[in-house]
């Protein structure tokens, strides 16, 4: 009986290996072949940059200049001051004196009417004068003065209505920072690869662009207004098509931000995000669940095979085969996506990553968050 159980577990381990290899070959490796535009094509498309900010006085002071001084001929910056009770209003007033392209929309708090980020963004979109909208957050800074130009250039494709950008975290000391950057890399590799395969399922609001026509044609965030998060990934999940979605991964198009520096702050952030996945389209939920579960089982069953000495050489061989293939694929992608140093910790971080996915996926099923800041 014990032998049958061991054989069944080893077969399950092999199946997990095959599924993991499928995701590497069929999805992630294709991103290594993608080439962003090296020569920047002047788009000449008027752009509205939209930022929703709640109690972000310090971040606005530090990051707005890099956005307001972008090397782009025709753009405005719309900042929605969402019920802030710090000095955001004073900071924005000072910027308005120097920058005519800055437009401020102010939301005042009401005891009977609770707003959220989606409401703030909707007001910002309505206030924007341009058709093409580019989104980021107050705590983000563009990697270059050509951020707007890089993102806007994708709209020269007449079919493009959605541009998925990338936003890495700034490198700092400590395991938490390393894991946050690794998780961000893996998430980006997955959603960017799916997009170029014609099946985009999410984007990130720190670096995302789409058209007003797409937004109002979809009735904005109405389909998921009851959900706290999802102004970015749920909107993309419900409105992306193989024809209307493109990606932008030139290093000049990146938007950087600081990672959380405490486990409690990071936990609160991830708790909000994971509750959104259950509203994805069914095929995307199946795909993400299959990746998460197969990766988790791969490491659990590998450990059992080695500890209980059941086909340990074959199990170790499959592990090494997958690891070598990962290194081949990820070394190029990590370098391109500003995370090359993390390749040295790949086996450990990858194992923690799949444990995290399954743990937080379970937590997200039961926990509901009612405010965004």
The 10s digit of each residue's pLDDT in 99-155 is 999 999 999 876 456 668 889 999 999 999 999 999 999 999 999 999 999 999 999
The 10s digit of each residue's pLDDT in 157-185 is 999 999 999 999 999 999 999 999 999 99
Residue 225 near residue 279 (C-beta atoms within 8 A): no
The 10s digit of each residue's pLDDT in 271-286 is 777 777 778 899 999 9
The 10s digit of each residue's pLDDT in 55-112 is 999 999 999 999 999 999 999 999 999 989 999 999 999 999 999 999 999 998 764 5
Q: Which two tokens stand for residue 63?
A: 């990051």
Domain enclosing residue 350, as ranges: 2-32+282-366
Residues 236 and 329 grouped into a single domain: no
Three-state DSSP class for residue 41: coil
Q: Which two tokens stand for residue 339?
A: 């995370």
Residues 286 and 208 grouped into a single domain: no
The angle formed by the CA atoms of residues 370, 56 and 50, to the nearest 5 degrees, is: 85
For the four alpha carbons of 342, 343, 345 and 350, in that order, the dihedral sign comes to positive
- Scan for tokens 């409690």, then name that residue: 264
333-344 b/e (C-beta count within 10 Å ≥ 16 → b): bbebbbbeebbe
Domain count, the chain: 2
Q: Which two tokens stand for residue 36?
A: 């962003």
Q: Is the pTM of this model over 0.85?
A: yes
The residue from 272, 305, 337 where one domain ends is 272
- Scan for tokens 């437009």, then name that residue: 103
Residues 316 and 264 grouped into a single domain: no
| Residue 120: predicted pLDDT | 92
The residue from 249, 272, 295 where one domain ends is 272
Give the closest residue to 291 by CA, choosing from 168, 186, 205, 365: 186
Q: Which two tokens stand for residue 31?
A: 């991103």
The DSSP H or E segment spanning 77 is: strand 75-82
Evaluate whether residue 55 is within a structural domain. yes
Residue 124 near residue 50 (C-beta atoms within 8 A): yes
The residue from 216, 243, 272 where one domain ends is 272
CATH number for the domain harbouring residue 135: 3.90.550.10
| Residue 370: predicted pLDDT | 46
Evaluate whether residue 145 is within a structural domain. yes
pLDDT at 327 over 70: yes
């Amino acid at each position: 009986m014990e032998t049958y159980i061991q054989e069944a577990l080893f077969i399950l381990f092999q199946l997990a290996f095959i599924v993991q290899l499928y995701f590497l070959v069929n999805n992630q490796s294709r991103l290594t072949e993608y080439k962003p535009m090296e020569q920047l094509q002047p788009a000449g498309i008027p752009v509205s940059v939209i930022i929703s900010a709640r109690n972000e006085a310090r971040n606005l002071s530090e990051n707005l200049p890099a956005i307001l001084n972008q090397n782009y001929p025709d753009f405005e910056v719309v900042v929605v001051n969402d019920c802030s009770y710090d000095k955001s209003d004073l900071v924005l007033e000072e910027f308005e004196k120097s920058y005519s392209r800055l437009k401020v929309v102010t939301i005042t708090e009401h005891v009977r009417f609770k707003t959220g980020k989606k409401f703030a963004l909707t007001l910002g979109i309505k206030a924007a004068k341009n058709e093409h909208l580019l989104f980021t957050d107050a705590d983000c800074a563009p990697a270059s003065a050509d951020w707007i130009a890089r993102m806007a250039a994708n709209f020269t494709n007449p079919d493009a209505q959605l541009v998925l950008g990338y936003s890495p975290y700034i490198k700092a000391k400590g395991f938490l920072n390393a894991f946050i950057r690794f998780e961000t890399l893996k998430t980006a590799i997955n959603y960017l690869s799916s997009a170029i395969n014609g099946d985009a399922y999410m984007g990130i609001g720190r670096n995302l662009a789409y058209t007003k026509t797409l937004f109002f044609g979809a009735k904005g965030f109405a389909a998921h207004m009851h959900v706290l998060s999802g102004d970015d990934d749920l909107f993309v999940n419900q409105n992306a098509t193989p024809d209307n979605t493109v990606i932008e991964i030139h290093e000049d198009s990146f938007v950087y931000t600081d990672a959380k520096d405490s486990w409690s702050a990071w936990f609160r952030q991830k708790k909000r995000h994971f509750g959104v996945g259950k509203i994805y389209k069914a095929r995307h939920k199946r795909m993400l669940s299959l990746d998460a579960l197969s990766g988790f089982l791969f490491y659990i069953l590998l450990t059992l095979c080695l500890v209980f000495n059941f086909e340990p050489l074959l199990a170790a061989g499959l592990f090494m085969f997958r690891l070598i293939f990962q290194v081949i694929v990820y070394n190029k992608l990590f370098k391109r996506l500003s995370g090359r140093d993390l390749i040295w910790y790949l086996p450990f971080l990858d194992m923690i990553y799949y444990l995290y996915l399954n743990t937080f996926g379970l937590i997200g099923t039961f926990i509901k968050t009612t405010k965004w800041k």
